[in-house]
Amino acid sequence: MLMKPECFACLYTQMLRVAKALECDDACATRIMETSAARIARLNPRQTPPEAAAILYPALSTMLGVEDLYARQKEESIRKARELIPRVEERIASASDPLEAAIRAAVAGNVIDFATEVSFELEEEIDRIFDAPFAIDETEEFLGRLRKARHLVVLGDNTGEHLFDKVMIRTFREHFQDLEVDYFVRGRPIINDVTVQEAREAGMQETARIVDSGVDTPGFLYERASLEARAIYDAADLILAKGMGNYECMEDRPDDRLFFLFKVKCSVVAGKVGAQIGDLVCKSSE
């Protein structure tokens, strides 16, 4: 999905959120916004929003001397997620269809996002997610493919959300004990996306093999992935891409193995998929 005019404004707003997240004084915030405005003005619209973000965020990191701009916020997201995981596990255990409930748990975690035009409260989302309808619902198609799969790749998205992904993957493997699962993470800190460090600290290796994709964008781009990650991706029977960033990078790559799972948090993506902001989406690649 290529940049739209709204994406340029969104990126500028994201830079303001970075300044607030770092609790910058006025001089620092002004420097961030001036630098960002100059770089945004030079962005090529013939690229995806995550590719543009991969230009802006590292530039700010270098300028400020801070590698992980959202480190403190990611820790808070993990804390909140840990508090809610027992509630989610109880709902999955009591569900008539635990596999479908596990998918819902994973998409509930997708509300943890610092790069979107709207935000949602995680606890409120957990309360409603197990009964909320999907605006685009191909969960049955996904589960049908999962029952036949031997090798699943899950493309991770945000920190904190990955704890819900772990619950989902564990549920899958409880039902399909021969299922091999690889969990892809970003190659370096970018916004609040999950990296190897957060995945390991969460014990993701207990349920899946953690794969450092090598990708430096907040969305999986095959061309930027390491050779190892590409080989694993190519060998998968089924691929589940979490979050809008992965959708923005991959929606134009037809692949009958590929499914997207996310909550709509941006008007551009809403228009692209034919849904509304706040809607849940589980759809195959077209």
pLDDT score of 117: 52
Confidence band (pLDDT; 50, 70, 90) for 171?
very high
pLDDT score of 118: 57
CA distances from 148 to 22, 153, 176, 205, 207 (A): 47, 14, 9, 23, 19
Tens of pLDDT along 38-74? 999 999 999 999 999 999 999 999 999 999 999 999 9
Q: Check whether 140 has a pLDDT greater than 80.
A: yes
The answer regarding whether domain 71-284 maps to CATH 3.40.605.10 reads: no
Tens of pLDDT along 196-224? 999 999 999 999 999 999 999 999 999 99
pLDDT score of 179: 98
Confidence band (pLDDT; 50, 70, 90) for 149?
very high
Tens of pLDDT along 77-126? 999 999 999 999 999 999 999 999 999 999 988 887 665 555 567 788 78
pLDDT score of 114: 62
Q: Domain locations in the chain?
A: 5-64, 71-284
Put simply, whether the predicted model's pTM sits higher than 0.85 gets the answer yes
3 state SS of 209: strand
Q: Check whether 169 has a pLDDT greater than 80.
A: yes
pLDDT score of 115: 56
Q: What secondary structure does DSSP assign to 99-162, as a single string?
A: HHHHHHHHHHGGG--SSSSS---HHHHHHHHTTPPPSEE-HHHHHHHHHH-SEEEEE--BTTHH
pLDDT score of 124: 80
Mean pLDDT over 135-157 rounds to 97
Tens of pLDDT along 232-280? 999 999 999 999 999 999 999 889 999 999 999 999 999 999 999 999 9
Rounded CA-CA distance 86/169 in Å is 15
Which of the pair, 117 or 281, is modelled with greater confidence? 281
Rounded CA-CA distance 51/221 in Å is 9
- In residues, how long is the chain? 286
pLDDT score of 113: 63
pLDDT score of 128: 85
